[in-house]
Amino acid sequence: MNKPIVIVGQGIAGSTLALELIRRGYKPFVLDASWIFGSTAAAGGSVHPWVLSKQRPTWRGLESFETAQRWYRSAEAMLGLRVWHPLSLYRLSPSGKSPGPSPALASPDTGSMGANSRDAEKHILEDGRIVHAGFGAWLNTRVLVSGIRGYLARRNMLRTAILGERDINFKDRIISLPGGKTLGYSALVLATGLQASQGHGLPWLPPATHLPFYGVLGSIIELYLPELQLPGLIHGPVNILPIPGTGRIRIGTTYHREYKDATTPPNDAQDLCRRAAAILGGFDAADLFRRIEACWSGIRPASRDRLPFMGPVPGYENNGVYCFNGLGTRGLLTAPGLAAQLADALGGTDSLPEDLLPNRGRV
């Protein structure tokens, strides 16, 4: 292709697509205001393929995890960074009786990180409730996305810009950039997160293009607890994630639906501490609250059927306009595989899954 594929947005969707295209020999161009305000920046970073409360894989869970593990390892080598940290998973069994472990992933990369339940019992009120639930990883999203941002900038593939109504000529596939420059494109991929519910960050687009997203608020606190040696990610009333090699843990959960303000309500931090104290031994909620070093919230886009949107934007199919949005709570898990599928479609080598197309209906 002579004209580049242009991506608007550099969260986890835009970042993985950009790197995937580069690996295939394309030279994409990314336009972004600032990734740090997106839902990716607020992600805790846990990656695993399980619905732990129901002891079953998520949508495309097992295949996505294997793909994600290979992809992020490859990205580490490409960027010269360490972002993928394998972890064991534990969950609480509400029955009070251990139902036995979930099927573990047959992966030497994560399997070697397994820890038995006796290790977990040192710091968890187990009394029959804690079970080993397979394997996963912590993905350092801030290091990854900022690393990709730097990689793109050094190769003149990134521009900080906010597009106005007159900046895109869809008919001729030309974008006007600040400074009087223009950029032609073969395909324009809108990876703008929650903004897709209001014109993909291009608010003048007609309502038919808007995706039926609603905002879901998640809150996270980070504490310095070097004396707490957790063996892996603990899933319960809250998720408790140890950050390898730092002595820190992250505690988070999803709180509110139909939410539009990303300000962290003060009582959310207190509630997270209260819920975590019910899981961790030797700490009460007040102890945990005093150890908080950071707290943040983020709003992620979610669809009614909990599936992402990926494919031509309705009404702009003949203008080369696509969307890649709404990856949801498992976005870090599914992004690499979905980015590969979209790259196949953009290159004309494969079609996109019909159940992910934006025209699948108002879900």
Who has greater pLDDT, 69 or 110? Answer: 69
Q: What is the mean pLDDT of residues 302-317?
A: 88
pLDDT at 121: 43
- pTM across the whole model: 0.86
Over 90: is that where the pLDDT of 171 sits? yes
pLDDT tens-digit profile of 185-197? 999 999 987 776 6
Residue type, 116: N
Over 70: is that where the pLDDT of 306 sits? yes
pLDDT at 146: 92
* pLDDT band, residue 165 (cuts 50/70/90): confident
Could you tell me which of 176, 241, 212 has the C-alpha nearest to residue 307? 212
Strand arrangement of the beta sheet that strand 168-169 belongs to: 168-169, 174-176, 182-184
pLDDT tens-digit profile of 246-257? 999 999 987 666
* pLDDT band, residue 55 (cuts 50/70/90): low
pLDDT tens-digit profile of 220-242? 999 999 988 888 898 888 899 99
Least confident of 1-5, 33-37, 275-279, 308-312: 33-37
Who has greater pLDDT, 165 or 319? Answer: 319
Domains and CATH numbers, the chain: 5-41+143-213+305-360 (3.50.50.60), 84-138+214-302 (3.30.9.10)
pLDDT at 254: 73
Over 60: is that where the pLDDT of 336 sits? yes
pLDDT at 129: 56
Percent of the residues in the chain that have a pLDDT greater than 70, as a whole number: 78
Who has greater pLDDT, 123 or 319? Answer: 319
Q: Which two tokens stand for residue 78?
A: 């490409």
Q: What is the mean pLDDT of residues 320-346?
A: 92
Q: Which two tokens stand for residue 216?
A: 């879901």
pLDDT tens-digit profile of 25-42? 999 999 987 655 567 767
pLDDT tens-digit profile of 57-86? 676 778 889 999 999 999 999 999 999 999
Least confident of 20-29, 182-191, 194-203, 308-317: 194-203
169 Cβ partners below 8 Å, 6+ apart?
175, 176
pLDDT tens-digit profile of 264-295? 555 789 999 999 998 887 789 999 999 999 98
The answer to whether residues 196 and 211 touch, using CB atoms and an 8 Å cutoff, is yes
User: Mean pLDDT of all residues in the chain?
Assistant: 82
